[in-house]
């Protein structure tokens, strides 16, 4: 791989220990994937922030990078942590865990990372535009950035996203190359989809079918009646989260949504998904009956302000009967404070779990069954926490908390 003189200097340690380590990671990745050069990135999003996932080894690596003088050279934000950084006690987090999680956040802060802790950086100021090269590591946000915003990123891991942040570069391969963004298969899907739960179920189904398909997974989604089933920001973030979870998909084209969809014709090979299959996917994610639900959570991916407004409207003057987590980014919560939504929601007994989510928080064994509108949350709640799950529409999930 050809390196510029600045990149060579980084590799030989002239910009400090951590920058050298970061450039080593990127050069190795570039060699593995056959990149010919590095390209500058304008932003990074780092995953692997929850101490529950990182453990001691991960914390040690971050502390070492911070001590070695690593400094972010581009706008860099963080994925959710394992707790609400301010209100962890109210979430039932232990003091030991909180102390370790704080050390993780502090290490990132020392490196000049904006510690917003959210999987929707595009809702809180880290918003790349069309054609911009970025290095993001949250799979749902990667899919959203490529497919909805038209920015260009591979699915980075935590270390490679950090390396891109500390150097300002990433190897030019994969989805950074225009030709690699060409769709490989057309997916004809049902015309009518109702809200986040059904968009999420479609993501699960398309993801699973693409796994079986086996070849390069870059689908061209067609068939959705966008007048009657609007591809809203909320529906798309749900779809992106689940197609990435169930199918490892980093990008799709959707007519009327993806900026580059007009550049390519739909591929001749077609996979069809029926309404019956969609209903079956929803059923599959509901192994709990409503009576079993003892935990309700909305905000996977993190809630938008409009979604919080809707929750406030539904909870106004009512009391929740189950543990109900509202998960969002801290800046979004601050806007909810200003709009008065927070007061209404907290008066109902629901809890804001800011900076975190029902997947990355250390809550295994604390609950029996989760009600959510998120196909991604269903996957991880079952796989990681061993919860039963019940998927419902957004409004119905709020009803579950009140039942
Ligand atoms: Fe975000 Fe947590 Fe879901 S990181 S996408 S809310 S699993």
pLDDT, mean of residues 99-121:
98
> Could you give the count of Cα atoms lying within 13 Å of 154 in the half-sphere of its Cβ?
21
Residue environment code for 85-95, b if the CB has 16+ CB neighbours within 10 A, otherwise e: beebeebebee
What pLDDT shows up at residue 119? 98
Question: DSSP letters of 237-260?
Answer: HHHHHHHHHHH-----EETTT-GG
What pLDDT shows up at residue 199? 98
pLDDT, mean of residues 214-232:
92
What pLDDT shows up at residue 215? 78
22-34 tens-digit pLDDT: 999 999 999 999 9
Under 8 Å between Cβ of 11 and 27? yes
Residues in CB range of 146: below 8 A, 6 or more apart? 152, 153, 175, 181, 250, 251
pLDDT, mean of residues 323-339:
98
For residue 214, is pLDDT > 90? no
Using the mean position of ligand 1's atoms as its centre, give its distance from the Cα of residue 277 in Å. 25
For residue 200, is pLDDT > 90? yes
> Could you give the count of Cα atoms lying within 13 Å of 149 in the half-sphere of its Cβ?
25
Specify the pairing of strand 388-391 against strand 369-372: parallel
- Secondary structure in 3-state letters for 270-335: EEECCHHHHHHHHHHCCCCCHHHCCEEEECCCCCCHHHHHHHHHHHCCCCCCCEEEEEECHHHHHH
User: Atom 5 of ligand 1 has which residue's CA nearest to it?
Assistant: 301
What pLDDT shows up at residue 213? 85
78 lines ligand 1 (CB under 6 A): no
353 lines ligand 1 (CB under 6 A): no
pLDDT, mean of residues 376-388:
97
User: Atom 3 of ligand 1 has which residue's CA nearest to it?
Assistant: 300
284-300 tens-digit pLDDT: 999 999 999 999 999 99
376 lines ligand 1 (CB under 6 A): yes
What pLDDT shows up at residue 46? 98
Using the mean position of ligand 1's atoms as its centre, give its distance from the Cα of residue 291 in Å. 25
156-171 tens-digit pLDDT: 999 999 999 999 999 9
Mean pLDDT of the chain: 97
Which residues is 76 bridged to in the sheet? 44
Order of strands, sheet of 253-254, starting from the edge strand that comes earlier in the sequence:
253-254, 219-222, 185-188, 270-272
Above pLDDT 70, what percent of the chain? 100
What pLDDT shows up at residue 153? 98
Using the mean position of ligand 1's atoms as its centre, give its distance from the Cα of residue 289 in Å. 23
363-380 tens-digit pLDDT: 999 999 999 999 999 999
**Which of 239, 297, 377, 383 best tests ligand 1's pocket when mutated (most atoms within 8 Å of CB)?**
377
- Residue 107 tokens read as 């290490």
What pLDDT shows up at residue 145? 98
Alpha carbons 29 and 57: distance in angstroms, whole number: 21
What pLDDT shows up at residue 380? 97
Atom of ligand 1 nearest to the CA of 359: 7
Q: Of 153, 202, 155, 207, whose CA–CA distance to 185 is shortest? A: 207
Q: For residue 269, what pLDDT band results from cuts at 50, 70 and 90?
A: very high
pLDDT, mean of residues 266-280:
96
User: Tokens 């914390």 belong to which residue?
Assistant: 59
295-321 tens-digit pLDDT: 999 999 999 999 999 999 999 999 999
Please give the residue that has the higher pLDDT: either 217 or 14: 14
For residue 216, is pLDDT > 90? no
Q: Is 214 exposed, middle or buried (0-12, 13-18, 19+ CB in 10 A)?
A: exposed
Using the mean position of ligand 1's atoms as its centre, give its distance from the Cα of residue 380 in Å. 9
Alpha carbons 400 and 403: distance in angstroms, whole number: 5
Q: Is 182 exposed, middle or buried (0-12, 13-18, 19+ CB in 10 A)?
A: middle
pLDDT, mean of residues 103-109:
98
Q: Of 79, 217, 196, 232, whose CA–CA distance to 141 is shortest? A: 79
């Amino acid at each position: 791989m050809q390196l510029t003189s600045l990149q060579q200097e980084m590799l030989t340690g002239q910009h400090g220990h951590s920058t050298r380590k970061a450039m080593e990671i990127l050069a190795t990745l570039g060699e593995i994937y056959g990149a010919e050069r590095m390209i500058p990135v304008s932003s990074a999003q780092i995953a692997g922030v929850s101490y529950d996932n990182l453990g001691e080894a991960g914390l040690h690596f971050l502390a070492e990078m911070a001590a070695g003088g690593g400094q972010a050279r581009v706008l860099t934000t963080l994925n959710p942590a394992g707790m609400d950084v301010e209100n962890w006690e109210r979430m039932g987090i232990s003091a030991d865990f909180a102390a370790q999680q704080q050390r993780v956040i502090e290490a990132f802060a020392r490196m000049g990372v904006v510690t917003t802790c959210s999987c929707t950086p595009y809702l809180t100021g880290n918003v790349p535009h069309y054609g911009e090269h970025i290095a993001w590591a949250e799979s749902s946000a990667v899919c959203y950035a490529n497919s909805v915003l038209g920015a260009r990123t591979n699915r980075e891991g935590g270390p490679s996203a950090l390396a891109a942040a500390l150097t300002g570069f990433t190897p030019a391969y994969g989805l950074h190359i225009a030709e690699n963004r060409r769709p490989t298969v057309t997916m004809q899907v049902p015309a009518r989809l109702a809200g986040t739960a059904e968009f999420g179920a479609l993501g699960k189904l398309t993801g699973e079918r693409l796994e079986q398909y086996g070849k390069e997974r870059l689908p061209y989604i067609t068939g959705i009646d966008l007048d009657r089933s609007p591809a809203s920001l909320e529906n798309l973030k749900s779809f992106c989260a689940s197609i990435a979870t169930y199918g490892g998909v980093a990008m799709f084209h959707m007519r009327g949504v993806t900026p580059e969809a007009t550049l390519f014709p739909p591929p001749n090979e077609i996979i069809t998904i029926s309404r019956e299959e969609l209903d079956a996917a929803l059923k599959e994610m509901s192994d709990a009956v409503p009576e079993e639900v003892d935990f309700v959570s909305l905000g996977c991916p993190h809630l938008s302000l409009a979604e919080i407004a809707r929750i406030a409207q539904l909870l106004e003057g009512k009391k929740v009967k189950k543990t109900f987590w509202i998960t969002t980014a801290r800046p979004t919560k601050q806007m909810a404070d200003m709009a008065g939504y927070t007061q209404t929601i907290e008066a109902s007994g629901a809890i804001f779990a800011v900076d975190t989510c029902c997947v990355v928080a250390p809550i295994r064994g604390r609950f029996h069954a989760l009600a959510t509108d998120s196909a991604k949350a269903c996957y991880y709640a079952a796989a990681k926490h061993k919860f039963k799950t019940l998927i419902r529409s957004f409004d119905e999930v709020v009803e579950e908390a009140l039942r």
